[in-house]
Amino acid sequence: MTFTLVRKFLRDVRWPLLVVALQIFGFSMLWVKVAQRVTTEIAPFFNGIAMVSQINPKLFEEVVFKGPGKVSQSVLGGSDIQFERPNDFLAVELLHPVILILTGVWAIGRTAGAVAGELDRGTMELLLSQPIPRNRLILAHLITDAIVIPILCVSVLGGTRAGLEVMGPFTVDYSVLDKMPKLPGGRPLPKGPAELPVDVSRQPRAIVNLAALMFAISGVTLAISSLNRSRWRAIGFAVVVVMAMFIVNVLGQLWEAAAPLRPLSVYYYYQPQRIWLKEDWIVNLSDVWPGSPGVPLVGVLAAVGAVGYASALLVFTRRDLPAPL
């Protein structure tokens, strides 16, 4: 009977799942083109200006990411990201608001309807009129998450690889350097490699962090859904909670006084660029909480999701279900 429920839940979400998966796939393809243009055309242009002007190229980053621009830098991975490197720029995709919004909306929208949505539609009585223990209903949603979350993650992987096949190699365009003034002594501006190396072999590891984030948001939302009878009210509460955690994490990077609040946000443990570029799966809490140990990024998110599901199970199996309106 549990797998009958799983089939029902998958049937209910098949079209929204297809739409979101295609959007993620398309954006991942597009991001490859953006990365190619920035690293092979725009970055050489600014590096050429820096050489002619005899200034440090880092000065451009300081100007671009100064003031309000620092918010964008914080959202896109902080100062560790080198935007002239293809691998770094491709890793930024997993931190882009489009990916965060699509995956967040999916996680909230699906699990908000798990309990509150069924009560809202009046279908919960039909489900529970069958010989199904309430805990099987929560288990079925857990299995559904274990199926649909990897599908969305594969959409990112597939889009990136399709983009690399379609866009071709990252061949650097140095023609703009020939139009710039010469260096002292009439020397031409030096050129780098003709083609930039691209390595996405570590992307699947970073995607595990994305899957863990979606599971954490799903768990939190399911716990909220188990306390409500209105799907839209559950969505509203979940959006407020998730947005508050996102804002706290960004604010903590911009304002030192708010930094100790960052570990309370699930987004603090979402650092896919760290896994992709450095193979570092541990975040050191002592950076914001002196004396604290390092904790696993994926482990914390998985624990949050598990606690959310456990809370939903505890509440749902004990609450009196209201009659449909």
Q: Is residue 102 part of a domain?
A: yes
**Measured between alpha carbons, how far is 285 from 269 in angstroms, rounded to an integer?**
10
pLDDT at 171: 87
Phi and psi for 296 in degrees, rounded to 5?
-75, 135
| Confidence at residue 222, expressed as pLDDT on a 0 to 100 scale | 97
Q: Is 50 helix (H, G, I), strand (E, B) or coil?
A: helix
Averaged pLDDT in 10-residue chunks for the chain of 325 residues: 88 95 98 93 71 60 53 54 84 94 96 87 74 88 97 98 94 73 62 83 97 98 93 95 95 87 95 93 89 92 98 90 63
The C-alpha atoms of residue 107 and residue 112 are separated, in whole angstroms, by: 8
Question: What gap in Å lies between CA 28 and CA 37, rounded to an integer?
Answer: 15
CB neighbours of residue 120 within 10 Å: 20
Q: Is 288 within the bounds of a domain?
A: yes
- Per-residue b or e along 89-103, where b marks 16 or more CB atoms closer than 10 Å to that residue's CB: bbbbbbbbeebbebb
237 domain residue, yes or no: yes
**Alpha-carbon torsion, ordered 294, 297, 298, 301, to 10 deg:** 100
What is the C-alpha to C-alpha distance for residues 311 and 313, in angstroms, rounded to an integer? 5
**What pLDDT was estimated at residue 190?**
64
Has residue 324 been placed in a domain?
A: no
Q: Which amino acid is at 262?
A: R
Query: How many separate domains does the chain show?
Result: 1
Q: Give the pLDDT confidence score for residue 19 in this predicted structure.
A: 97
Domain containing 118 equals: 2-318
pLDDT confidence of residue 172: 84
Q: Is residue 151 part of a domain?
A: yes
Note the pTM of the prediction, 2 decimals: 0.90
Q: Is residue 325 included in any domain, yes or no?
A: no
DSSP-derived secondary structure letter, 264: G
Dig out the tokens for 5 from the structure. Answer: 């429920």
Residue 323 lies in a domain: no
**Cα–Cα distance for residue pair 109/217, rounded to 1 Å:** 10
User: What pLDDT is stored for residue 179 in this prediction?
Assistant: 65
The answer as to whether 42 is a domain residue is: yes
Q: What is the pLDDT of residue 272?
A: 95
Q: Name the helix (H) or strand (E) containing 236.
A: helix 231-254
